[in-house]
A and B are shown apart, each in its own frame.
Chain A
Amino acid sequence: MDTFTHILNGFVVAMEPMNLWYTFLGVLMGTIIGVLPGIGPSAGIALLIPITYGMNPTSALIMMAGIYYGAKYGGSTTAILIRTPGEAASVMTSIDGYEMAKNGRAGAALAVSAIGSFIAGTIGVIGLTLFALPLTSMALKFGPAEYFTLMLFAMTAVSTLTGDSPAKGVIATILGLMIATIGIDLQSGQARFTMGVPEFLDGVGFVVVVVGLFAMAEVLRGLEDIFRGSSAQAMKITGKLWLTKEEWKRSIGPIWRGGIIGFVIGVLPGAGGTIASIMSYTTEKRLSKHPEEFGKGAIEGVAGPESANNSDTAGALVPLLTLGIPGGGATAVLLGAFIMYGVQPGPLLFQNKPDLVWGLINSMYIGNVMLVILNLPLIGLFVRLLYIPQGILYPLIVAISAIGAYAINGSTVDLWLILGFGVIGYVFDKTGIPVAPLVLSLVLGGMMEQSFRQAMTISSGDLKIFYGSTITVVLLAMSVISVLLPFIIPMLRKLGSKGDES
């Protein structure tokens, strides 16, 4: 009853004209930041902190949170139109989203991203409202052993991302794992595979690799077309910018599932939106009646991941608000902002500052509505990008990619890296090696290795720790099932059809 009153009061706070204005300002800035690759919500919020000095803490935090979840809306735009993920978490969107654009359905892809983001974002905030406290204890049950088995389960998705040739999938996976080991190894404090380049000590950035593999490789492919004189086929837009009835029907399931997957993964500190969107993508491909369409412009492959990476933001606020533990870069910066305003997130926050907490949470409902209203009309504007002649579009992609990569660390080494990975992406394309397994193993590899070694330290080298808790056992079982599933399903279908005949 008491909590309910607090929630209602929170709406009063969120609806104050001043706070509505800051919500709008936050989500607008978030959208813009999201569109540009490289400039992520972490840097956006951090740079804003000094400007918001002296502001009412609630308003300032509402605005900063707006940037955080708003950025996830913007990230899909360039992913779909020019195969350049604006945010790390949009990488899965660029696989099928860009293919949809090539098929003339850019409008539908953008629309389903916006709508999916809205629905899933709202699912996430509802989850945050209702389950924040119980979920906190779930997040705490995840120690190194649990994280390792979770990553292992996520890794089994490689098989669904691989094309027809398992060998080629293995090549991509191993290359991703190798890249993940570059930099200072936390467990031993030693530098690995840095080749004497100081910039490599902190590892190779995920966004840098992805921008190279996707955007730069696409430019190289385009160049090849131009040199061969077959550049006439500019992208076109067929049908309306909105979803067809069929597309809508195919999207609604992935949106719901993505929303739930994203929220749950978001609650776990460290897992994050990229892993959530990969999990959603593979789930959809496994559930789909036509998995062969994935990678060739399946709308489920856009709807699911885009939804997952939005509800993830609400999930990530659970450990931040209830424990004061940031799950990732952007929430760490938010924590810094909280502290600067003299607000200490943690178990006492909900008791001591209910107006602030619920005002912030409830502003996210409003922010999501604002974002969908803001983003839908922009679709008409953004798709015009596709009318740009290739002679202008490709240099534009190179410029956006280079600015984005440079903006992360202000380092020219990253510019060479996107070029290098662009060549790798191009070679992969020519030889039929899939890119997605590389991306997956790059995201998971580092965390998987670190959590494995943490667990082994804790258990003094005893492997029992990996089947010592219910969570690890369930995750291990799920991993085994996931590997065997492609063999089991055809067998079951066979049995089923035999049953029908008799």
Chain B
Amino acid sequence: MIRNAVLVIALAAAGLAQAQGWKPDRPIEIVVPTTPGGGIDRTARLLQKIIQDEKLAPVSVTVNNKPGGGGAVSLVYLNQHAGDGHFVAINSPNLIANDINGRSPVKTREVTALANLFSEYTVVAVRADSSLKRGQDFIDRLRKDPQSLAVSTPTTLGSVNHMSFALVAKAAGIDPRKLKAVVVGSGGDAVTALLGGHIDAHTGTPSSVVRMVQAGQIRVIGVLAPKRLSGPYADTPTWSEQGYKAVMDTWRGVIGPHGMTAAQVAWWDGVLAKVVATPAWKEALEQNTWEANYLNSAQTRKLFDDEHAEYRTILLDLGMIK
């Protein structure tokens, strides 16, 4: 407790020191690439609330929804404010995936990486009465016949969930192109299909199945995380533990427009580090089954570069890009 407090003060002091170079003098705008209501929108509104309640910024904070183009519209809008530290956006792996498949007019390198807020490590889930008890059963079935399991991968081909499925198979030496990935519109649709016995397994976020896991109707046979998750998944083994090295997550990054100054980035580093240390933030993580994984601006830039390389490899394996 005391150590946390000391840490907070230290971070706050660091933030203050760095903020001397730049601080916002107009309202801050958090751009959201989706319509109100989804996970990204909720993250943005949570961020807005905490920055305001904790008085972390000397100005007010607004949230602006700019949906369309699978996120492209919001990125173009963000970069119309190049070099302006008052504009930030919440983003997800779509940022990089759309860059790789050529669908986005804005490259990953053309935005400023500010932070990663949390991660949702992909889980592989089956119905509680399934004969697939452990990750090994899943692999054995796929090794015998990659087409033998119909696995739901929301929400599009080449999504993080689809790449997760491919990654697990690849770790076991199975050709990802032979897999039977059933693309469904949402995690909810996938859970319905799984419970109804229409599909054999589901890849998705921990939160997409958490309620059914707690009710004992769905079992998670492996998590694509570097170490075990907290909360309801504390007893669920990772894929790496089971001998198949596969890590993949839906991260939630904060980005700024192209050409932000070092002083602006430093100010945001200070503020966002304070946000993730607040009790309100930690409570929200727990409620949403989001895994704490804060990264500062430099670490996030590295994350983006690493993910860019990794997604490229998997999408090549899947034959989705050339």
Say whether A143 contacts B157, CB under 8 Å.
no
Say whether B186 contacts A332, CB under 8 Å.
yes
Does A202 count as interface, using CB distance less than 8 angstroms?
A: yes
* Smallest Cβ-Cβ distance to B69: which chain A residue: A198
Say whether A199 contacts B69, CB under 8 Å.
yes
From A140, A188, A408, give the contact of B196 (CB < 8 A). A140
Give chain A interface residues in 26-70, CB to chain B under 8 Å.
42-43, 45-47, 49-50, 53
A199 proximity list for chain B (CB < 8 A)? 68-69, 73
A408 proximity list for chain B (CB < 8 A)? 35
B198 proximity list for chain A (CB < 8 A)? 143-145, 458
Query: What's the nearest-Cβ distance from chain A to residue B138, in Å?
Result: 17
Q: Using known A-B contacts A47-B36, A454-B182, determine if residue A323 contacts B214 with beta carbons closer than 8 Å.
A: no
Q: Using known A-B contacts A142-B196, A269-B192, A454-B183, determine if residue A49 contacts B42 with beta carbons closer than 8 Å.
A: yes
Say whether A46 contacts B41, CB under 8 Å.
yes
Q: Measured between alpha carbons, how far is A457 from B182 in the docked complex, in Å? A: 6
Say whether A345 contacts B36, CB under 8 Å.
no
From B35, B37, B48, B155, give the contact of A186 (CB < 8 A). B155
Bits for B135-159, please: 1 = Cβ < 8 Å to A, else 0: 0000000000001001000011111
In the complex, the 3 A-B pairs of residues with the closest C-beta atoms, listed nearest first: A143-B198, A46-B36, A198-B69
Given contacts A332-B186, A346-B215, 10 further A-B contacts (CB under 8 A): A50-B48, A140-B195, A144-B198, A145-B198, A186-B157, A189-B157, A189-B320, A335-B188, A339-B287, A457-B182
Size bracket of the A interface? 35 or more
Q: Measured between alpha carbons, how far is A409 from B42 in the docked complex, in Å? A: 17
Count of A-B residue pairs with CB < 8 Å:
157
Q: Measured between alpha carbons, how far is A450 from B35 in the docked complex, in Å? A: 22
Total B residues in contact with A, Cβ cutoff 8 Å: 57
From B72, B147, B158, B212, give the contact of A198 (CB < 8 A). B72
Q: Measured between alpha carbons, how far is A339 from B31 in the docked complex, in Å? A: 23
From B156, B158, B191, give the contact of A323 (CB < 8 A). B191
The CB with the most chain A CB atoms within 10 A, among B48, B70, B207, B320, is that of B70
Give chain A interface residues in 376-400, CB to chain B under 8 Å.
none
Q: Measured between alpha carbons, how far is A329 from B67 in the docked complex, in Å? A: 14
B279 proximity list for chain A (CB < 8 A)? none
A145 proximity list for chain B (CB < 8 A)? 198
Q: Measured between alpha carbons, how far is A332 from B207 in the docked complex, in Å? A: 13
Say whether A189 contacts B156, CB under 8 Å.
yes
A46 proximity list for chain B (CB < 8 A)? 35-37, 41
B101 proximity list for chain A (CB < 8 A)? 189
* Smallest Cβ-Cβ distance to B148: which chain A residue: A460
From B35, B70, B184, give the contact of A42 (CB < 8 A). B35
B158 proximity list for chain A (CB < 8 A)? 189
Does A319 count as interface, using CB distance less than 8 angstroms?
A: yes
Q: Measured between alpha carbons, how far is A493 from B67 in the docked complex, in Å? A: 55
Say whether B214 contacts A140, CB under 8 Å.
no
A49 proximity list for chain B (CB < 8 A)? 42, 45
Bits for B205-239, please: 1 = Cβ < 8 Å to A, else 0: 00100111011010000000000000000000000
Q: Using known A-B contacts A325-B188, A333-B37, A454-B182, determine if residue A346 contacts B214 with beta carbons closer than 8 Å.
A: yes
Say whether A342 contacts B181, CB under 8 Å.
no
Name 30 interchain pairs, CB-CB below 8 A, sorted by A.
A43-B36, A45-B37, A49-B42, A143-B199, A145-B198, A186-B155, A189-B156, A189-B158, A198-B76, A199-B68, A201-B70, A201-B103, A202-B69, A269-B189, A324-B211, A324-B212, A325-B188, A329-B37, A332-B38, A333-B37, A339-B207, A346-B215, A347-B215, A348-B211, A410-B67, A413-B68, A450-B185, A458-B199, A460-B147, A460-B180
Bits for B48-77, please: 1 = Cβ < 8 Å to A, else 0: 110000000000000001111110110010
* Smallest Cβ-Cβ distance to B284: which chain A residue: A340
From B66, B67, B189, B196, give the contact of A141 (CB < 8 A). B196
Q: Measured between alpha carbons, how far is A187 from B162 in the docked complex, in Å? A: 11
Say whether A143 contacts B211, CB under 8 Å.
no
Q: Measured between alpha carbons, how far is A201 from B76 in the docked complex, in Å? A: 14
Say whether A187 contacts B157, CB under 8 Å.
yes
Does B27 count as interface, using CB distance less than 8 angstroms?
A: no
Say whether A191 contacts B103, CB under 8 Å.
yes
Does A326 count as interface, using CB distance less than 8 angstroms?
A: yes
B293 proximity list for chain A (CB < 8 A)? none
A335 proximity list for chain B (CB < 8 A)? 188
Does B247 count as interface, using CB distance less than 8 angstroms?
A: no
From A43, A188, A460, give the contact of B157 (CB < 8 A). A188
Query: What's the nearest-Cβ distance from chain B to residue A171, in Å?
Result: 29
A188 proximity list for chain B (CB < 8 A)? 157
Does A25 count as interface, using CB distance less than 8 angstroms?
A: no
